[in-house]
Amino acid sequence: MSLRGQSIQFSLLRWFCAKLPREKTAGRLQSAQIYLKKARIEAETQRTLADAEAYQMRVILEADNTLALKLGAEIRIQELWAKAFMQMRTLDAAKRLNYERNMSEGKSR
C-alpha cells in the first residue's frame, strides 16, 4: 500500500475513534477497524452495482444500434422493390398501349 493510502487509512481510523463513545483504546481501535471494513465493503458493492449498470446500458445501446442498422437496410430494400415494381408497371402499361416511338413509317392514329 502506498504512503498516501496508509495516511488515508490512519485518518479514517482516527475519525472513527473520535466518533465512538469513550471506551478503552483497544476496543475503540477494533471498532474503528470494523467500521472501516464495513465502509470498504459498501464502497465495493456500490462500485460493482455501477459497473453492472454501465454494462447493462452498453449492451442495450449496442442492441439498439444493431436494430437501427437492420431497420435502415430493410427500408432501403423496400424502396428498391417499390422502384422496380413501378418500373415493371410502367413497362407493362406501355406494352398494353402498344406504344411505338418510331413515327417514320407514316402511321397515324
**Residue pair 19/39 in contact by the 8 Å Cβ criterion:** no
Average pLDDT of 72-86?
95
Gap between the Cα atoms of 52 and 57, Å rounded:
9
Q: What does the pLDDT look like over 28-71, one tens digit per residue?
A: 778 888 888 888 899 899 999 999 999 999 999 999 999 899 99
Per-residue pLDDT for 109 more than 90? no
pTM of the model: 0.45
Mean pLDDT of 88-99: 84
Question: What's the confidence (pLDDT) of residue 53?
Answer: 94
3-state helix, strand, coil in the chain (%, to 5): 80, 0, 20
